[in-house]
Structure 1
Amino acid sequence: MSLGGTFAAIPCESLAAQALPLTFADAADLSLQAPVVAHVRIARASRLKPAEAIGVGPGRTRYYVEADVVSLIRGAQGLPARISYLADMANDAAGRAVKLRKKDEFLIFADRQGTTGSEVRLVATDAQVPYTAAGADRVRAILREATARDAAPRIAGIGRAFHVPGSLPGESETQIFLMAADGRPVSLNVLRRPGETPRWAVSLSEIVDESATAPRPDTLLWYRLACSLPQSLPPQSLAEADPATAPAIQADYQLIKMSLGPCTRSRPAR
């Protein structure tokens, strides 16, 4: 058996009740990390002896799992009808190893192992989650967005920020430049006009589109911003701005952060 490393699954007794539901950020974290995403059905699972399960954490048991692929959600090279992988599963409340039942269904987030393609490796210790149709649809939607030609890029940092007061009292515009991992120009723009609610938008080009808006929640662009932007602007972002405008820039940045809302996760980000 050539599979190695530590993997994890969720206990299968009272599986739905015990598993924390994946938030949108959880699903995006796993989906974007995994070259292979599949809906699988357990065919058989064998518990390994302690001597064969080196590195398993306390309170967990390692299994060698064979599963039938119900559907392949992501995987450019395809998968055989049956795959195998290792899963480290938490023991029950009494410390006993749980049973991984035949025909239990999961979504797995994995990478290919070996040369046959039938062996995969989960990308994280919790990268096997109980299957639901809604969960699978969410993952498909994330991957569709991620593979689109104009997909929102990963945010690598924050660049310069500037603030320009308008000609009327209470009128202003703030522009905050972001650093994208692919080098694409990205900026956040906040427009304030007297008597109107402040409006902000994100631009993914050098030219600010007048029709641009804030991203919808639970979209890839929302995830890239909400889960990447720090709580406050770093000092270097204000280095080239007029010091008198720094409070206004920080206030507009906080407006953006509040509008985006928290990046809620039920699992640690990796």
Structure 2
Amino acid sequence: MTRIRSALLPLSVLLLATTPPPMQLPAAAIVQPAYADLADLALAAPVIGDATIRSTVRLKGPDAAGVPIGLVRLYVEADMTALIRGAGGLPPRVGYLLDVRPDARGKLPQLKKARVLLFARPSALPGQLQLVAPDAQLRWTPAADAQVRAIVREALAADAAPRLTGVGNAFHVPGALPGEGETQVFLQTADGRPVSLSVLRRPGERPRWAVALSEIVDEAAGPPPRDTLLWYRLACALPPTLPATSTAALAPADAVKAEEDYRFVLAQLGPCGRTRG
């Protein structure tokens, strides 16, 4: 370990060149993250690995430059158990930098032999990774592993739900009977693919809503199941209110109905549940 450390540590500044400000890691490594937290990390990471920590070395002096007060920087070596995502593969053992917070007695978290999920990007140095966020090392659990694999499968599918960037125009068409009507809200996406929300109200029936991923609204379509990529895209990206620009062309009464139906969709989706910063 001494030989490896002497060769790698002077380059720690390169490894940290684009690392965000660190956060407290131990609690995030133990508590089961919410679906949205896992999706945030999985979608940001070109490399996701299941690994077991082999060793840690505390860095000091120039190798720990820029560490926030109260945190300690470690150089971690881990043995890869499985590669969940990564086009180019990984060597059996990888190294990366990690900032942790000592406890009240100054003791560092016991990480040796811990099984972890790593969300990272390749470094310029062979065999080295760079975590995509300060809390991008999570304690491995069967539930977290299964959830991350499901997110990756959905994200890599040809028909994966696109990333939302805003809300476009909304339309409302009143029905022939009191309380009857249909609202459609068009969403803006990063790749230009069409996504729209529709809400159908009929007298004496519960409102029905659906999301369409094409220009044609499928009558059989419905809401996305919770804790899926499409649900995450909607619940975590839609603004809390319908923008005024979306209803600017509508009559006042139709704009009120469109806003009401938009709030109904948000209520049905439920909170995003993100707990990370």
SS of aligned partner of 2:178: coil
Alpha-carbon spacing, 1:8–1:78, altered in 2? closer, same or farther (3 Å): farther
Deviations 1:224-252 (A, max 9, x none): 00000010011100112222211111100
Tell me the equivalent position of 1:257.
266
Aligned-partner SS, 2:84:
strand
For these two proteins, the number of residue pairs brought into alignment is 262
2:159 corresponds, among 140, 150, 153, to 150
Q: Distance in 1 between matches of 2:37 and 2:153?
A: 17
1:110-150 deviations in Å (ceiling 9; x for gaps): 0000252x100000010001111110110000010111111
Contact 1:61/1:97 (8 A) holds in 2:
no
Once the two structures are superposed, residues 22-63 of structure 1 have per-residue CA deviations (whole angstroms, 9 ceiling, x without a partner) of 100000000000000001111111111143201111111111
More displaced 10-residue stretch of structure 1: 241-250 or 174-183: 241-250
Contact kept in structure 1, 2:32 and 2:144, CA below 8 Å: no
Cα deviation, 1:57-100, whole Å, max 9, x if unaligned, reads: 11111111111001110001000000000000111123x14054
TM-score (norm 1): 0.93
Does residue 1:62 correspond to 2:73, yes or no?
yes
Do the aligned residues in 1 keep the contact of 2:102 with 2:109 (CA within 8 Å)?
no
SS in 1 for 2:90: coil
Residue 158 of structure 1 aligns to a residue whose secondary structure is strand
Question: Can you give the 5+ residue segments of structure 1 that lack an aligned partner in the other structure?
Answer: none
Percent identical pairs in the alignment equals 53
- 1:90 is matched with 101
1:108 and 1:124 map into 2 onto residues whose CA distance is: 10
User: Which residue pairs with 2:4 in the alignment?
Assistant: none
Residue 72 (structure 1) aligned with residue 83 (structure 2): yes
Residue in 1 that maps onto 2:183? 174
Single out whichever of 238-247 and 134-143 deviates more from structure 2.
Answer: 238-247
1:21-40 alignment, distance < 5 Å: 21-40=32-51
CA RMSD of aligned residues (A): 1.6
Does the alignment pair 1:213 with 2:228? no
- Of 37, 49, 59 in structure 2, the residue corresponding to residue 48 of structure 1 is 59
Residues 199-210 of structure 1 aligned to structure 2 (within 5 Å): 199-210=208-219
Per the alignment, do residues 144 and 50 of structure 1 end up closer, same or farther by CA in structure 2, a change over 3 Å counting?
same
Q: 1:199 to 1:99 in 2, by over 3 A?
A: closer
Report the CA distance between 1:8 and its aligned residue.
Answer: 6.2
Deviates more, 1:23-32 or 1:42-51: 42-51
Identify, as 1 or 2, the structure richer in helix. Answer: 2
Give the one of 242, 250, 263 matched to 1:241: 250
Distance 2:63 2:53 in 1: 21
CA–CA distance in structure 2, aligned partners of residues 236 and 101 of structure 1: 51
Are the aligned partners of 1:38 and 1:107 in contact in 2 as well (CA < 8 Å)?
yes
Q: Distance in 2 between matches of 1:101 and 1:234?
A: 47
Contact 1:43–1:66 (8 Å) recurs in 2: yes
